[in-house]
Amino acid sequence: MFVAPWVTDTFAYFCGRLFGRHKLIPSVSPKKTIEGSIGGIIFCIIGCVVYRLVLGQMNVESLPAIWIFAVLGLLVSIVSQIGDLIFSLIKRRYGIKDYGILFPGHGGVLDRFDSVIATAPLILIACEALAYFNIM
C-alpha cells in the first residue's frame, strides 16, 4: 500500500527529470511530464513483480501469480498519479504552495501520502476480490 505509490512518485520524478520533454497537465502540475508518468508506471510494475518474487522466496503461502502483481502495479501506479494530480489541483485552486513545513521543499506530509490515500481503496478492493475468487 505504501511501496507502490512511493515507487511511482520517486521514479516518475527521476524519469521526468532525465527524459521529460512533454508536459502532462501544466495547468495543474507544471513540472510533471508524460515521460515521467510512463517511467513511474514501468518502475511500479517492476517493483510489484520484484515484491512478489521476494515474497515467494520467503515462502509466503497463497501468493497470486506474478502477472496479477504486474497488473496491480499498473493500476496502482495510474491511480497513484491521479491522486497526486487531484491533490495538486486542490493546492492550485486554493493557492496553497505546501501542505505543511515538516518536510521543507517537499510540500508537507500530505504530499508524501496523497497518492497513498488514493490507492488504499484500490488495494483493499483488489485484496478482497482476490480472496473472494480464492486466488490468494
| Helix (H/G/I), strand (E/B), else coil: 27 | coil
| Helix (H/G/I), strand (E/B), else coil: 9 | helix
Q: How far apart are CA 25 and CA 75, in angstroms?
A: 20
pLDDT band per the 50, 70, 90 thresholds, residue 88 = confident
Q: How far apart are CA 104 and CA 106, in angstroms?
A: 6
CA 46 to chain centre: 12
pLDDT band per the 50, 70, 90 thresholds, residue 114 = confident
What does pTM read for this prediction? Answer: 0.89
pLDDT recorded at residue 62? 81
CA 122 to chain centre: 11
Domain boundaries, given as residue ranges, for the chain: 3-132
Residues whose CB falls within 8 Å of the CB of residue 11, separated by 6 or more in sequence, listed in order: 39, 40, 42, 43, 44
